[in-house]
Structure 1
Amino acid sequence: MDAILAEKPDQARKLASPFAHKKEKTRITIAPCPEFPRGAIIVWAIGHLCELAEPEKYDPAWKKWRLETLPIIPDRFKHQVIKQKAGHFKLVKEVLNQADTIIIATDPACEGEYIARIIIQMAGASRKKIKRWWCSSLTEQAIKEAFGRLRSDRETKPYFEESLARSYSDWLVGINTSRVYTLLMQQKGIREVFSRAGCKLPYCA
């Protein structure tokens, strides 16, 4: 059985549209056909299902905001399942681990690659055979043609690596900038939390 990992529910419905299929609440089952001789199950993310862990997950000393602990730079980054989406992640994980082949069918760009591959890693399914559906059109004809010419996962892995590096950079700058700005402003008597999104540094412009 093939597992197809889409990025969003509406995308999953469109991916199934060229084939005989059955819609369920948390998955879409595609009947055996030339493209999927053993059938396939489409599951989907709901945006990001996983995120980079908070500082205290690396070191309990990093939970309290102190200038003495900055900069915060983990030896190795960790991901965690987003708590509010843990139930949906469990359903996706189950399908991915039952599959013989996983087809990544998230958006054909860095972010889509990142979303899918982190889910696969966190599901413990990285050793599965992985293929990549790559198409910018969601017409039935384009979808079907793209499933007929799946790419090797090695071809698109650089998109994941680029997005992963950017996520690490965002985390490092965000965590450290928020804390140093907040702590320094508190020394001036301003009792507010300054997030990277609201600061005026050139990085945030």
Structure 2
Amino acid sequence: MKPVILAEKPSQANAYADAFTTRKYEGYMEISPCPTFPKGAYLTWGVGHLVELKEPHAYNPSWKRWSLGSLPILPHRYEFQVAKGKFKQFSIVKRLIRSTDTVINACDVDREGSNIFYSIYYQTGARGQTIKRLWINSLEVDEVRKGFENLRDNRKDLQLYEEAKARQISDWLVGMNGSRLYTLLMKKKGIQHVFPIGRVQLYPS
């Protein structure tokens, strides 16, 4: 099977493609057989966060209405969904990942890149594939080739993902609860504005 490479964004995928001979299709590229990929490979990408945490009303319809009585919003478990407007690209990524036995995480080398990769991977429903990590700090052609020839295992990457996921959920809790609390309390004082709190900010619908 051809391995599937997941980049974080189109510009990053294009930089990887410059190191190989490729054919471009909608939402992905095909890398021709070469010393690095004897059978060739598929190269696809996210568009930032293809997958995000669900909004409160997805857990409980009563949480759609802003009220002090509904606080704090604390789901029993946290669920993810495909981000609005990004289902088409997600479907392409999902099809490619589920059709291979090897997936290469080629997102940014940091917690956020790890989070983006694994949130997409788990949302596809794929399980059991071998996951490798591209670990480079330069998009120069020679460095890209060298990086793909020396892929790492995903143990460290999983640790980064767990850290990023914990922060993502914490941000969600602060944003969803804090924004509502401050806004509703200020409304009682006659101030009719939304007061977004934290990195995750929610506005009344």
What TM-score do the two structures reach when normalised by structure 2? 0.92
Counterpart of 1:137, as a letter, is: S
Q: CA deviation at 1:196?
A: 1.3
The answer for the alignment partner of 1:52 in structure 2 is 53
**Secondary structure of the structure 2 residue equivalent to 1:103:** strand
Counterpart of 1:108, as a letter, is: V
Which is worse superposed, 166-175 or 15-24? 15-24
Question: Residue deviations 1:46-81, cap 9 Å, x none?
Answer: 111111100011112211111111111111111110
- Give yes or no for the alignment of 1:30 onto 2:35: no
The answer for the alignment partner of 2:202 in structure 1 is none
Question: Residue deviations 1:96-133, cap 9 Å, x none?
Answer: 11122100000111111111110001011242111111
User: Which segments of 5 or more consecutive residues in structure 2 lack a partner in the other structure?
Assistant: 200-205
Q: CA deviation at 1:191?
A: 1.7
The answer for the alignment partner of 2:93 in structure 1 is 92
The answer for the alignment partner of 2:68 in structure 1 is 67
Percent identity (aligned): 45
User: Which segments of 5 or more consecutive residues in structure 1 lack a partner in the other structure?
Assistant: 199-205
Question: How many Å separate the matches in 2 of 1:184 and 1:193?
Answer: 11
The answer for the alignment partner of 2:128 in structure 1 is 127
The answer for the alignment partner of 1:76 in structure 2 is 77
Q: What does residue range 166-185 of structure 1 map to in structure 2 within 5 Å?
A: 166-185=167-186
Q: CA deviation at 1:155?
A: 2.4
The answer for the alignment partner of 2:188 in structure 1 is 187
Counterpart of 1:55, as a letter, is: P
**Secondary structure of the structure 2 residue equivalent to 1:84:** coil
Query: Considering only aligned residues, what root-mean-square deviation do their CA atoms show, in Å?
Result: 1.3
Question: How many Å separate the matches in 2 of 1:3 and 1:82?
Answer: 22
Q: CA deviation at 1:19?
A: 1.6
**Secondary structure of the structure 1 residue equivalent to 2:85:** helix
Question: How many Å separate the matches in 2 of 1:168 and 1:26?
Answer: 29
The answer for the alignment partner of 2:143 in structure 1 is 142
- The aligned length equals 198
Question: How many Å separate the matches in 2 of 1:19 and 1:189?
Answer: 61
Question: How many Å separate the matches in 1 of 2:23 and 2:89?
Answer: 19
Question: How many Å separate the matches in 1 of 2:8 and 2:192?
Answer: 40
**Secondary structure of the structure 2 residue equivalent to 1:196:** coil
Q: CA deviation at 1:197?
A: 5.2
What TM-score do the two structures reach when normalised by structure 1? 0.92
Q: CA deviation at 1:134?
A: 0.8
